[in-house]
Structure 1
Amino acid sequence: MIEDDAFGPELRELKRENRAMSERNTKLAELLKSSRDKLNLLYAQVEALGEPASTYGIFLEDSPRGMEAEVFTSGRRMRVKVAPTVEPTSLAPGTLVRLGDGTVIVEACGYESTGQLAMLVEKIDGNRAVVADQQGTEHLVHLTDPLQEAARAGDTMLIDPKAGYAFERIPKTEVNQLSLEEVPDVTYADIGGLSSQIETIKDSVELPFAYPELYRQYRLAPPKGLLLYGPPGCGKTLIAKAVANSLSQRIGDGGQAHFINVKGPELLNKFVGETERRIRLIFERARELASDGRPVIVFFDEMESIFRTRGSGVSSDMETTVVPQLLTEIDGVEDIANVIVIGATNREELIDPAILRPGRLDIKIRVSRPNREEAADIFARYITADIPLADSPETLIEAAVEELFAPRPFVRLQLVDGTFETLHYHDFVSGAMIANVVDRAKKLAIKDHIAGTNATGVTAAHLREAVRTEQDESEDMPNTANPDEWARISGRQGKRIVAAEVLAGEKPRTASV
């Protein structure tokens, strides 16, 4: 005991040194292990540099022999081995795969993200489709699993024509470039001054969907289409949108009607056959949407720009092929009763008569310029109590209508019988003009509010000034003395105009034919 006490300090010091050396040995061992791991990694990297370069291919299908697969690589179809390290579920048809030494699949790399674009023309069956590239060349390709349900006619696809696969649906489709499929939020209540036209449309278009059994009992077929014609800015497009919205409400099961809004000029294409192909594409999309039983409205705006009378010499000979294509498509919707074609035009006399005959666009509705009462109804849609007003809406509307229809000569027309007719600014009133008048008045009220001269809201003076400014700048009235132009916008096609004298402006302009 005495000896232990005598050597106690030295013993404790030796134990501390022993523990310190043990800790240093542990750290050295860890450093040695880390160095060996890094050295092994470097050796592996050096060996990898000596391996042949990897190639890539498109996985086509599994081989019935197992652990083998069909791939398309280097321009040819091959059967190759699959490395055991590759997860079988990662190999889906159309997948990009990496091929290692011996042309063995060593890695699945997902789907291609770049390549050639083509437009889907038609689905053949569940996993195949016909696509057309930008030159119009058609290819038959397989659809990858994600595309078999999502792909639709008109979609832009990422394809590899040599491998025979479509990999991805590009969101911006050719149909979407020409059309809008969402149901508009416009209702009949948003449209003023067109009650008789709306009633006609309800009777002709909506009744067949509301009472299909009655129509079948009476053996009455729903109309295929209708034409809305009249001066610009009078609500033709609004009516078409409201029809789609109303039909959606009538479905009643939470679904929606489809509205394909096609701008006529955007269909035009200088390449032979391209415009006809786009028309086929639009109706193919309409049939696809209609297959679930919901109404589909195909709305052609500015219809006269593309479907002109054949052989009229008004434009090129393109109508000789484009018009028959439209007629074929309209006639082809006979077996799909819920596709409706609505056309809108400012120049109904230019449209080929074959399009307007019974059985096609057989319902024709004129959308005229509003009179005083109808103009007041339109003003009431914009001058409402929920905006700052200096007076009651009724008082302001009355002041605006009085100013809008005040006598203010614009042009004097000479008819073929030698009589003269003077047209005033109020002869060119439209719903679009009224909307602009109210917007101008609101801006005037805001300027006065900022200047501190008026903080009560829109006044009658604002509306009168807005009317005069709008009339001076109206786009609906051409700054020309051409009799043909005035015949078109005045709606007097039945009366031959031989001369026109513009009275507005500083210097009257006269022209005759």
Structure 2
Amino acid sequence: MADSKRSQGRLSSFRESVKKITQRLSDGDVDAVQKKDEHSREVEKLQIQIETMQDELRQLYQSRSQLDQAHKQNEKLTATLQEAKAQIQALRAEVEKLTAPPNTYAIFSSMNDDSTANIYVSGRKMKVSLHPSIKPQELRKGQEVILNEAFNVIESRGFDGQGEVVRLKDLLEGNRALVTLHFDEEKVTELAEPLASQRLSVGDHLLYDARSGYVVEKLPKSEAEELVLEEVPDVDYEHIGGLAKEIEQVRDAVELPFLYPDLFAEHKLSPPKGVLLYGPPGCGKTLIAKAVANSIAKKLGHLAGKEMRSFFLHVKGPELLNKYVGESERQVREVFKKAKERAAEGHPVIVFFDEMDALFRTRGTGISSDIESTIVPQFLSEIDGVERLRNVIVIGASNRQDLIDPAVLRAGRLDVKIKISRPDMNAAREIFSKYLATELPYADEEVTRHAGDRRAMVDRFIQSTVEGMYATSEENKFLEVTYANGEKEILYFKDFASGALIEGIVSRAKKYAIKRAIANEGKGLRSEDLMRAVRDEFKEHEDLPNTTNPDDWAKIAGKKG
């Protein structure tokens, strides 16, 4: 660049010289002619110099272009070298990772006064140092940490989610717990820091880390606990219609021993261990059991002057059955163990086995399985153990009490047996009154017909509906059955009435009223809605009877046996 500027300067100076010579010639200098040849020669020399400098200038421009190209190429080479350097560094880091020694996981236990830490490594307790970046106050008991090859802590992690499932038996001082392992083996463990702040109850399932001896997590309910309903349902005796006599029997058998234990002890009368509610389906067996638990809690609270809580363990019988040997028996033990734990806390506990005949059939009657030969003895041993508890009673419900093993039904086990019969006309009227409240929307013409007396109108609705249901008319004939002994019997619609059936009739009538209101054909319930619902309900049941074995079917229906 500098050489180019110098060449241009020399060329400009030469041009100025030529210009001056030309001016001298034009002024008529006398010596011009003489010196003409000299000037001509000088001009030729200068022209040669001009050509030479122009060639040099072209070469300079060419050199400059080559220099620019070389500079760009140098930049590309520099970028390539930097990229290669980065790749080499990445490969070196990868090689270092692959050749680095493995790190060991451990469980943090506590800090020492000299800023060292106590950890558990594969069951061994060790005292190690911490990396300067690890803050001791951030480490929590039971937490995982990572060690280097010198067994010093270099990184903190979370809590391990794997281990054994154990059951809490008791809480001890110093954030310790007594737990039960497999085969009822007991072990004293420590509570991890997050678990120490949680509310734990006896019987809870915990996650146990055998490497460190810590329990680190509270687990969800077990299978058996999922099959039971702990909370007492909000069902009162007032919600049940047509079963006043049966309710009185249940209250005498279940409530009195809970409410007046001192009187029973004074008279040396042992309370019953269990109650069997049997009868046709849909007649209120489960509803009565729920109402008993609710009533006991309320009355105990009234006597004690404070709110009391009772537990209703609703066992869904068929769901306890399991194809694996011993599983059903284990779950029966789980249910009674849970009941004993709740009773030990001073709470009244009702264990309700629904569909009892599915679980505890007569031994030896199994066709494809002999599970009843082991599950029945398991239940008998558990219910015999209930005598040591004051606050547990077993209630069973069944449609086929004849299939239940006799050892279950004998005195001293299920002492009280109460039949829940199908509702008669009076009971049916009472059940209808539970579902047909006066505040429901009724058709204006119906209210007007009864002079605005809604109570009288509802009573008339119920009376006409019940009379239509229980009439032994030709249209109410349901079927004729012939039993094994040759006996024949005609069954009517009334022979299959139940609380569930009545609820279905009322629901069906309400649906008719709603559809009529949607179609703008009038709003509110009418008496013909109920009668239509009775007829439609009857038609739906016509094809249901199992005529291949009328004896068994009649027993389920509650008509025979």
TM-score, normalised to structure 1, is 0.78
Contact 2:103–2:146 (CA<8 Å) still a contact in 1? yes
1:358-369 mapped onto 2 (5 Å cutoff):
358-369=411-422
2:521 corresponds, among 445, 450, 453, to 453
What corresponds to 2:128 in structure 1?
81
In 2, the alpha carbon distance for the partners of 1:248 and 1:454 equals 46
1:394 corresponds, among 456, 459, 462, to 459
Shift of 1:107: 5.1
Shift of 1:449: 0.3
Matched, 1:97 2:97: no
Contact 2:313–2:351 (CA<8 Å) still a contact in 1? yes
In 1, the alpha carbon distance for the partners of 2:397 and 2:190 equals 38
In 1, the alpha carbon distance for the partners of 2:134 and 2:264 equals 62
Residue identity opposite 2:341 in structure 1: E
1:109-508 mapped onto 2 (5 Å cutoff):
109-112=157-160, 114-116=161-163, 118=165, 120-121=166-167, 123=169, 126=172, 127-132=177-182, 142=189, 144-145=191-192, 147=195, 150-152=199-201, 155-252=204-301, 253-313=306-366, 316-390=369-443, 391=446, 392-407=457-472, 408-415=476-483, 418-455=486-523, 457-474=524-541, 477-494=544-561
Contact 2:119–2:128 (CA<8 Å) still a contact in 1? no
In 1, the alpha carbon distance for the partners of 2:504 and 2:199 equals 42
Query: Could you report, residue by residue, the CA deviation over 1:450-480 in whole angstroms, capped at 9, with x for unpaired residues?
Result: 111121x111111111112222224995353
Query: Which range moved further: 63-72 or 286-295?
Result: 63-72
Residue identity opposite 2:244 in structure 1: S
SS of equivalent residue, structure 2 residue 506: helix
Shift of 1:140: 5.0
Summarize the Cα distance change of 1:221–1:87 in structure 2 as closer, same or farther, 3 Å threshold.
Answer: farther
Query: Could you report, residue by residue, the CA deviation over 1:158-207 in whole angstroms, capped at 9, with x for unpaired residues?
Result: 34344444321233432332111011001100011110011011111111
In 1, the alpha carbon distance for the partners of 2:145 and 2:281 equals 58
SS of equivalent residue, structure 1 residue 332: helix
Contact 2:484–2:551 (CA<8 Å) still a contact in 1? no
In 1, the alpha carbon distance for the partners of 2:533 and 2:190 equals 58
In 2, the alpha carbon distance for the partners of 1:458 and 1:156 equals 53
In 1, the alpha carbon distance for the partners of 2:225 and 2:286 equals 18
Q: Which consecutive residues of structure 1, in runs of 5 or more, have no partner in the other structure?
A: 1-45, 495-513
TM-score, normalised to structure 2, is 0.72
Shift of 1:229: 0.5
In 1, the alpha carbon distance for the partners of 2:541 and 2:199 equals 46
Query: Which range moved further: 198-207 or 120-129?
Result: 120-129
In 2, the alpha carbon distance for the partners of 1:315 and 1:337 equals 39
Residue identity opposite 1:316 in structure 2: S
Name the structure where strand makes up a greater proportion of residues. 1
Summarize the Cα distance change of 1:174–1:484 in structure 2 as closer, same or farther, 3 Å threshold.
Answer: same
In 1, the alpha carbon distance for the partners of 2:261 and 2:337 equals 24
What corresponds to 2:107 in structure 1?
58
Residue identity opposite 2:333 in structure 1: R
In 2, the alpha carbon distance for the partners of 1:225 and 1:360 equals 6
In 2, the alpha carbon distance for the partners of 1:363 and 1:96 equals 57
Contact 1:154–1:281 (CA<8 Å) still a contact in 2? no
Shift of 1:265: 0.6
Count of paired positions: 441
Shift of 1:273: 0.9
In 1, the alpha carbon distance for the partners of 2:228 and 2:187 equals 26
Summarize the Cα distance change of 1:388–1:431 in structure 2 as closer, same or farther, 3 Å threshold.
Answer: same
SS of equivalent residue, structure 1 residue 262: strand
RMSD: 3.0
Query: Could you report, residue by residue, the CA deviation over 1:229-282 in whole angstroms, capped at 9, with x for unpaired residues?
Result: 011111110011001100110121212101111111110111111111111111
In 1, the alpha carbon distance for the partners of 2:135 and 2:281 equals 63
Query: Could you report, residue by residue, the CA deviation over 1:315-371 in whole angstroms, capped at 9, with x for unpaired residues?
Result: 621112111111111111222110111111111011111111122111111111101
In 2, the alpha carbon distance for the partners of 1:147 and 1:367 equals 48
In 2, the alpha carbon distance for the partners of 1:147 and 1:475 equals 59
Query: Which range moved further: 366-375 or 88-97?
Result: 88-97
Query: Could you report, residue by residue, the CA deviation over 1:66-105 in whole angstroms, capped at 9, with x for unpaired residues?
Result: 64444333x4424031427756565554322233563223
Residue identity opposite 2:249 in structure 1: T
Q: Which consecutive residues of structure 2, in runs of 5 or more, have no partner in the other structure?
A: 1-92, 447-456
Shift of 1:152: 5.0
Contact 2:112–2:118 (CA<8 Å) still a contact in 1? no
Shift of 1:378: 0.7
Query: Could you report, residue by residue, the CA deviation over 1:383-434 in whole angstroms, capped at 9, with x for unpaired residues?
Result: 0022212342212211221222233112212245544210012101111111
Identity %: 47
Residue identity opposite 1:111 in structure 2: F
Contact 2:506–2:533 (CA<8 Å) still a contact in 1? yes
Summarize the Cα distance change of 1:90–1:367 in structure 2 as closer, same or farther, 3 Å threshold.
Answer: farther
Name the structure where helix makes up a greater proportion of residues. 2
Contact 1:80–1:103 (CA<8 Å) still a contact in 2? no
Contact 2:241–2:431 (CA<8 Å) still a contact in 1? yes
Residue identity opposite 2:376 in structure 1: V
Shift of 1:141: 7.2
Summarize the Cα distance change of 1:302–1:447 in structure 2 as closer, same or farther, 3 Å threshold.
Answer: same
